[in-house]
């Protein structure tokens, strides 16, 4: 089964690459989970939203801004964009059947994709990331600084988000609006704005994922499409409603497919996606709620 010479060092490198890969899936999966919790809708435009904001970052950097100057600007733009999309596109169909909203997010994805081609052209762009690609030794395993940076940024973001949801009044209001909009209104929470805020946060998560992955791949309008599929898979793996599940699912998926692609000859890089989906199918057959899917406990 192993067609290549196996060394533990290389194995560790592959795991590290897998974790980096997974961190990106996790970021996008988290965005999907946040919107799903609010609206019960899978946002198919999440990938395109991320790519779009990455293009904005690219433009800003092209105009002479450094990555870390552009970074907060892009996050602010992404947040505003996410809020605007909810207000303008999603709000009018709020009470429509789920399928309608799903189709609208698909349409939004196509629209953003077309817009990107019009504004920035369809060609691949080199996106200079903030981290160097040279490798350093982590306990005798050479790992690229870039991989470490990507994972560190993703981890920091997840921790910040968790603190926000857990300890702030606004975070609590967001969770309340997601689980029980009726009662939320009765305590004075402006549920409509909470939804918009959720979209804003999801857009920020996507923007970070986009800016982290763009230096690794190339920037083009379709950059996030495969990644979005993996992110969906990661979200489902984690239970679709659980933020922790999305993160664990993302990392697990990243590591698994990297290892499969490297060590299982016939899978290679072409069969990675189907292989990952087969694995998820098997897992969901065993645990239909996903890894962290919660069964609501209720006494009546």
Partner 1 sequence: MNVLELHDVEARYGPVRALHGVSLEVGEGELVAVLGANGAGKTTTLRAVSGTVRRSGDIVFAGKKLSRRPEATARAGIAHVPEGRGTFSELSVWENLRLGAYARRANIKEEAQRVYKFFPRLEARRDQQAGTLSGGEQQMLALGRALMARPKLLLLDEPSLGLAPIVVTQIFEALARMKSDDGMSVLVVEQNASLALAYASRAYVLEVGTVVVEGTSDELRANESVRKSYLGY
Residues that bind partner 1 (CB under 8 A): 169, 172-173, 175-176, 179-180, 182-191, 296-300
Non-local CB neighbours of 109 within 8 Å, separated by 6+ positions:
44, 45, 47, 48
Closest CB 246 distance from partner 1, rounded Å: 17
Closest CB 183 distance from partner 1, rounded Å: 4
Instruction: State the Cα–Cα distance between residues 70 and 27, nearest whole angstrom.
Output: 19
Closest CB 182 distance from partner 1, rounded Å: 7
Nearer to partner 1, 160 or 179 (CB): 179
Nearer to partner 1, 220 or 241 (CB): 241
Q: Which residues of 161-192 are buried (b: 16+ CB within 10 A; e: fewer)?
A: beeebeeeeebebbbbbbeebeebeeeebebe
Nearer to partner 1, 67 or 164 (CB): 164
Nearer to partner 1, 134 or 299 (CB): 299
Q: Are 32 and 231 in contact (CB under 8 A)?
A: yes
What angle is formed at CA 221 by the lines to CA 217 and CA 224, rounded to 5 degrees?
55
Nearer to partner 1, 144 or 184 (CB): 184
Closest CB 295 distance from partner 1, rounded Å: 11
Q: Are 212 and 227 in contact (CB under 8 A)?
A: no
Closest CB 35 distance from partner 1, rounded Å: 18
Nearer to partner 1, 123 or 170 (CB): 170
Question: Would you state the structure tokens that stand for residue 240, as one six-digit string?
Answer: 């679709």
Nearer to partner 1, 89 or 172 (CB): 172
Nearer to partner 1, 40 or 190 (CB): 190
Closest CB 203 distance from partner 1, rounded Å: 24
To which residue do tokens 């690229």 refer? 144
Closest CB 155 distance from partner 1, rounded Å: 26
DSSP H stretches of helix in the chain: 8-39, 46-62, 67-85, 98-120, 145-167, 169-179, 181-186, 191-213, 225-238, 243-263, 272-286
DSSP letter, residue 264 = S
Closest CB 25 distance from partner 1, rounded Å: 26
The most distant pair of C-alpha atoms in the chain lies apart, rounded to whole Å, by 64
Instruction: State the Cα–Cα distance between residues 183 and 192, nearest whole angstrom.
Output: 13
């Amino acid at each position: 089964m192993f067609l290549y010479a196996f060394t533990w060092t290389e194995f560790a490198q592959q795991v590290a690459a897998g974790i980096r890969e997974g961190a990106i899936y996790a970021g996008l999966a988290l965005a999907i989970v946040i919107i799903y919790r609010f609206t019960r809708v899978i946002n198919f435009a999440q990938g395109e939203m991320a790519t779009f904001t990455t293009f904005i970052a690219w433009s800003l950097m092209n105009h002479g801004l450094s990555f870390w100057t552009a970074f907060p600007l892009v996050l602010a733009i992404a947040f505003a964009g996410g809020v605007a999309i909810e207000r303008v596109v999603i709000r009018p169909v709020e009470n429509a059947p789920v399928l309608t909203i799903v189709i609208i997010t698909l349409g939004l994805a196509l629209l953003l994709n077309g817009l990107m081609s019009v504004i920035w052209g369809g060609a691949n762009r080199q996106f200079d990331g903030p981290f160097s690609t040279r490798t350093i030794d982590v306990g005798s395993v050479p790992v690229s600084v870039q991989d470490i940076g990507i994972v560190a940024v993703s981890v920091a973001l997840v921790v910040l988000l968790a603190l926000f949801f857990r300890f702030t009044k606004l975070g609590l209001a967001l969770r309340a609006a997601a689980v029980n909009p009726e009662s939320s209104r009765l305590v004075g929470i402006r549920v409509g704005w909470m939804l918009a805020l959720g979209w804003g946060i999801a857009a920020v998560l996507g923007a970070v994922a986009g800016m982290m992955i763009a230096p690794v791949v190339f920037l083009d309008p379709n950059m996030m499409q495969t990644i979005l599929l993996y992110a969906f898979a990661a979200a489902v793996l984690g239970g679709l409603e659980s933020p922790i599940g999305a993160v664990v699912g993302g990392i697990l998926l990243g590591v698994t497919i990297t290892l499969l692609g490297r060590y299982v000859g016939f899978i290679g890089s072409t069969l990675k996606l189907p292989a990952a989906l087969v694995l998820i199918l098997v897992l969901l057959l065993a645990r239909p709620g996903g890894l962290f899917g919660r069964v609501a406990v209720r006494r009546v």
